[in-house]
Amino acid sequence: MNALRTTFLLAGLTVLLVLVGNALGGTGGMVIALGFAVAMNFGSYWFSDRLVLKMHGAREVGADEAPELHGIVRELSQRAGLPMPKVYLMESVTPNAFATGRNPTHAAVAATTGLMRLMNREELRGVLAHELAHVRHRDTLISAIAATFAGAIAMIANMAQWAMLFGGFRGNDNQGGGMLGGLAMMILAPIAATLIQLAVSRSREYAADAGGAEIAGSPRGLASALRKLEQANHAQPMQSAERNPASAHLFIVNPLSGTSVSKLFSTHPATEERVRRLESMAPGTRARM
């Protein structure tokens, strides 16, 4: 199912980029955009995980530098029947985490330094188990592709704005370019980025929560971690230099929480509902937010 979803997403993004090229530069722009889309399709499959990790300043760490993080990931990977993924740290006071990679053999798990400081061991196991569930469900490829293409669309929109400021888009509007094409690009590009993010179904978070509870052996740690993450990301969302709306859907909770744009770019179910579902798996507990 995820293979079909990835194929349709790539096809849709190719069409979108070609239409963008036509709007900005007519037939010539359309041909250039088609070539760019082909290159993006190839690059997204092979390199999107590296681009996303670099986008957030994640650096790979060994067992000697992050023994607790490495130890938990190794233990949970064995429980999940997965190869040991690469482990990355992001320097950020905001607690969060994500997984990426085109398949379980080429997977990576990244956590912020804020997450390591805030969570106790049971909660950290819950978060990392959730990310490994994404790896096991093969969600990570489509997530990284969506982030890469959304980032490219945002970049094109920025280029269009600068080109207009310096007198660009004065060509023939009948050929698809011109001022109207540039204005449409600036308006539609953020909407397109949002739609790409929403192409990654919210149901994948519920499935990863359930899978993470199974891998960790209990839903309690993840439920407790989600409460803390929700509060911390509202109180101290990622700084402008750390965050990128195109990759917001990768994280376990939306890193843009607390900002005015968060609702537009949210691809996560309500944390309260996620906690409720998790705690319903553990008799004798109640969801508290």
**pLDDT (tens digit, 9 = 90+) per residue, 115-141?**
999 999 999 999 999 999 999 998 887
Q: Which residues are catalytic?
A: 131
How far apart (Å, rounded) are the C-alpha atoms in residues 275 and 242? 27
Transcribe 31-57 into DSSP letters: HHHHHHHHHHHHHHHHHHHHHHHHHTT
pTM: 0.76
Exposure string (b/e) for 17-56, b if CB count within 10 Å is 16 or more?
bbbbbbbbbbeebbeebbebbeebbeebbeebbebbbebb
* 205 carries a ligand binding annotation: yes
Give the mean model confidence (pLDDT) for residues 15-26: 69
pLDDT higher than threshold 60 for residue 241: no
What is the pLDDT, as a whole number, of residue 36? 74
* 130 carries a ligand binding annotation: yes
What is the pLDDT, as a whole number, of residue 248? 77
CB 130 within 8 A of CB 119: no
What is the pLDDT, as a whole number, of residue 289? 41
DSSP secondary structure code for residue 281 in this structure = T
* 134 carries a ligand binding annotation: yes
Q: Residue 252 — pLDDT band, cuts 50, 70, 90?
A: very high
pLDDT tens digit sequence for 145-200: 766 666 666 666 666 666 666 655 544 444 444 556 556 666 666 566 566 656 56
pLDDT higher than threshold 50 for residue 276: yes
How far apart (Å, rounded) are the C-alpha atoms in residues 28 and 177? 10
